[in-house]
Amino acid sequence: MTDLRWMPDEGFSPQRLRIELLSGLTVALALVPEAVAFAFVAGVHPLVGLYAAFLVGLITALIGGRPGMISGATGALAVVMVSLVATHGVEYLFATVVLMGLLQVIAGVMQWGKFIRLVPHPVMLGFVNGLAIVIFLAQLGQFKVPGTMENTGHGMGGGEWLSGQPLYLMLALVAVTMAIIWVTPRITRVIPAPLAGIGIVAAVVIGFGLEVPRVGDLASIQGGLPSLHIPVVPLTWETFEIILPYAVILAAIGLIESLLTLNLVGDITNQRGGASQECIAQGVANTVTGFFGGMGGCAMIGQSMINVKSGGRTRVAGIAAAVFLLLFILVGAPVIELIPLAALVGVMFMVVIGTFAWNSLTILRKVPFTDAFVILLVTVVTVMEDLAVAVVVGVIVSALAYAWNNARRIHATTRQSNTEEGAKVYEIHGPLFFGSTDGFVELFDVAGDPETVIVDFAESRVVDQSALQAIEAIAEKYEAAGKTVMLRHLSRDCHRLLNKAGQLMVDSDDDPDYELAVDYSVRTGSLGGH
């Protein structure tokens, strides 16, 4: 069911509206340096990043799958865009963002977002830990002398680091901001703690005229309204071949990061569902953004955490963040550019502390080795490569580990039959699937068994075509030895799909009725030609 969530469960009140608006203002302030920095990473004008933050943030706030989430221009997408911009120019980027959005809409309509539930919990822990480290590393670029920074994916490119008194002053302001954020909730909840930290530190810096890096040192954010802009690219097959690979990668990265953020925000706000709706919202947002000169985007875990920790629970907060950001661009640039970067860095450092799953450090020695390995692997790959690669690697490793563990569970107990005189019964235990078929075949002593053998699957589960093929192979071996084999407690679809072995079925009143997970083509053909 679509969750519009315009109103919280307790209903709207002036106090709730104030919380939502102030939360949105805090998020908008944190969005400015991030959007500018990621625009530099992608090699485009800062306004291209700011317009993306406004448009993607506004549209996903209106129709997204999880109220409370914040979307905008992100580093995960920017590092992919940089080679496209460098090779073909910014117009090809806009066309790619449009195609990226269309692919995401298709994913949402096809309801592919539900597959995010296949991401195991250790992968989620590695995801949040890796992303917390990435957010931390991205802030280090702010400790460089303005004008010397060469932004990279993690904000650690070349340039001269601050030193001496400027560095000590920057660190002191960061520490003060973090302290204010920590202590404010213990004194008052009238305003969000991050906003209090930014406001107080900015007032001190401006009031005393302290010489520290400010938002305006990154770039001017002054601009007008985003205008309709059709990407100026040739409408040819060659253009499609150029932008399609980038669009597919960007769409995948954007959806993975958005859906994982959706789950994370859902855990905090006790909300469920909305994956397919979020895919469609991200797609619509990016398609529109591509036609208005934006670089595209996806959900931002850092800003989403700022929002929910500041009390933002409805769509109002996300809409407010986008509107405030637009106001900064149109009329507020002179003021916003005076805000010290130290205050925003302090906010993001507190986000890092709140995002990192510290409990994962204590459970590493308590969980199975495979789970601990996956947590560390996904964390490292997220930092060294990117989020999409890390999640895919984590899911593959988890799936292989699961298959291997289940493959080792297959075993059999033997006894004499109570119904067939002289017959030997093999009671199969554990799932029978592609990973356990070799172990299954090795359970049987065809040469040493009596004339009649019963294979009982009451404690097993036949999963796939490889399992059916293994059953048929055993049946053929006994048939070649001139012996009779009977199969019990197999589901009805196994009855239909087994050929030679199917003639040896013994129906039982308590046969299982689960459906076998095999391809439809198997149902309409023969198994291995037997």
Q: How far is CA 102 from CA 53, 98, 250, 367, 516, in A?
A: 19, 6, 12, 41, 35
Percentage of the chain surpassing pLDDT 70? 88
Q: Is 506 contained in some domain?
A: yes
pLDDT at residue 419 is higher than 80: no
Provide the number of structural domains found in the chain. Answer: 2
From its phi and psi, is residue 41 left (phi > 0), alpha (psi between -120 and 50) or beta? alpha
Q: Is 333 contained in some domain?
A: yes
pLDDT tier at 509, thresholds 50, 70, 90:
low
Domain co-membership, 53 together with 131: yes
Asked whether 421 and 450 are in contact (CB, 8 A), the reply is no
- Specify burial of residue 53 (Cβ count, 10 A radius: 0-12, 13-18, 19+): buried
pLDDT digit string (tens) for 290-332?
A: 999 999 999 998 899 999 988 888 899 999 999 999 999 999 9
pLDDT at residue 14 is higher than 70: yes
pLDDT at residue 1 is higher than 90: no
pLDDT digit string (tens) for 193-231?
A: 999 999 999 999 999 999 999 998 888 899 999 999 999
* More confident site: 147 or 27: 27
Q: Hey, which of 319-323, 404-408, 437-441, 507-511 has the most confident mean pLDDT?
A: 319-323
pLDDT tier at 272, thresholds 50, 70, 90:
confident
Q: Is 213 contained in some domain?
A: no
Q: What is the mean pLDDT of residues 400-428?
A: 88
Q: Is 394 contained in some domain?
A: no
Q: Which domain holds residue 499?
A: 411-523
The four Cα atoms 32, 35, 36, 39 give a dihedral, to 10 degrees, of: -170
From its phi and psi, is residue 247 left (phi > 0), alpha (psi between -120 and 50) or beta? alpha
Domain co-membership, 430 together with 304: no
Residues 6+ apart with CB under 8 A from 129: 356, 357, 360, 375, 378, 379, 382
**Alpha helical stretches, state H, 291-368:** 301-309, 315-327, 333-336, 341-355, 359-363
Closest by Cα among 54, 115, 38 to 318: 54
The four Cα atoms 351, 357, 359, 364 give a dihedral, to 10 degrees, of: -150
Q: Is 220 contained in some domain?
A: no
Domain co-membership, 359 together with 422: no
Assign residue 425 the CATH number of its domain.
3.30.750.24
pLDDT tier at 10, thresholds 50, 70, 90:
low
**Which of these three, 309, 335, 369, is where a domain ends?**
369
pTM of the model: 0.77
DSSP secondary structure string for all residues of 404-427: HHHHTT-EEEEEE-SSSTT-EEEE
Domain co-membership, 341 together with 416: no
pLDDT at residue 176 is higher than 60: yes
Asked whether 219 and 36 are in contact (CB, 8 A), the reply is yes
Domain co-membership, 431 together with 316: no
Q: Is 479 contained in some domain?
A: yes
Domain co-membership, 42 together with 170: yes
What is the predicted pLDDT for the residue at 497? 65
What is the predicted pLDDT for the residue at 33? 85
Q: What is the mean pLDDT of residues 46-72?
A: 94
Token pair of 444 as six digits: 């049987």
What is the predicted pLDDT for the residue at 158? 53
What is the predicted pLDDT for the residue at 398? 92
What is the predicted pLDDT for the residue at 521? 34
Q: Is 217 contained in some domain?
A: no
Q: What is the mean pLDDT of residues 375-391?
A: 88
What is the predicted pLDDT for the residue at 322? 96
Domain co-membership, 102 together with 246: yes
Q: Is 459 helix (H, G, I), strand (E, B) or coil?
A: strand
Q: What is the mean pLDDT of residues 55-83?
A: 91
Domain co-membership, 168 together with 256: yes
pLDDT at residue 493 is higher than 80: no
Which one-letter DSSP state was computed for residue 482?
T
Closest by Cα among 335, 316, 262 to 32: 335
Please give the mean pLDDT across all residues of the chain: 85
Q: Hey, which of 117-126, 283-292, 334-343 has the most confident mean pLDDT?
A: 283-292
Token pair of 19 as six digits: 């919380």
Domain co-membership, 292 together with 422: no
pLDDT digit string (tens) for 445-491?
A: 999 999 999 999 888 888 888 888 898 889 889 989 999 888 888 77
Domain co-membership, 464 together with 342: no
Domain co-membership, 31 together with 165: yes
pLDDT tier at 518, thresholds 50, 70, 90:
very low
Domain co-membership, 347 together with 430: no
What is the predicted pLDDT for the residue at 421? 81
Q: Is 514 contained in some domain?
A: yes
